[in-house]
Amino acid sequence: MTINGNKYYFNYEHNLIKNDTYDIETKEYDEDGQYQVVTKTYYADSKGKRVYNQWVNDSKMYAKADGTLAKEEVFTINGNDYLFDSSGYLVTDSSYTIDDVTYYTNSKGIVTSEGDAD
């Protein structure tokens, strides 16, 4: 729901979501012209507003320009490449594989190296 230009999400019990993630299913066409259901995850701040272009959840997740969370991807923020897992959490001091490429991160979640998964 949009109120005064801000997007809000209410759950099935009509409660405003605050300080939490929420999923919205949309129907889109893929590159082959097939109709598919796509789930997009967003984050609501303490007032229930959807957030954009900022770290959320104690800097463990990042909401991109369209409001969706960075998930299962390497995403560039202020010139640094950060790695996010399939749930949208920042991967720190670890390795994580996406599409047969293994990425390695430091304690801040910045990608330090990558290579083919064996």
pLDDT tens track for 42-57: 999 999 999 999 999 9
Task: Look at residue 107 in the predicted model and tell me its pLDDT.
Answer: 96
Q: Is-contact 51 44, C-beta < 8 A?
A: yes
Task: Look at residue 64 in the predicted model and tell me its pLDDT.
Answer: 98
Percent of the chain with pLDDT over 90: 83
pLDDT in tens, 13-34: 999 999 999 999 989 888 898 9
> Using CA atoms, how far apart are residues 40 and 73, in angstroms rounded to an integer?
14
Q: Is-contact 91 85, C-beta < 8 A?
A: yes
Q: What angle do CA 72, 7, 66 make, to 5 degrees?
A: 35
pLDDT at 66 over 90: yes
pLDDT at 117 over 70: no
pLDDT in tens, 3-15: 899 999 999 899 9
What is the DSSP code string of 33-99?
S-EEEEEEEEEE-TTSBB--SEEETTTTEEE-TTSBBP-SEEEEETTEEEEE-TTSPBP-SSEEEET
Task: Look at residue 40 in the predicted model and tell me its pLDDT.
Answer: 95
The whole-chain average pLDDT of the chain stands at 94
In this prediction the pTM is 0.87
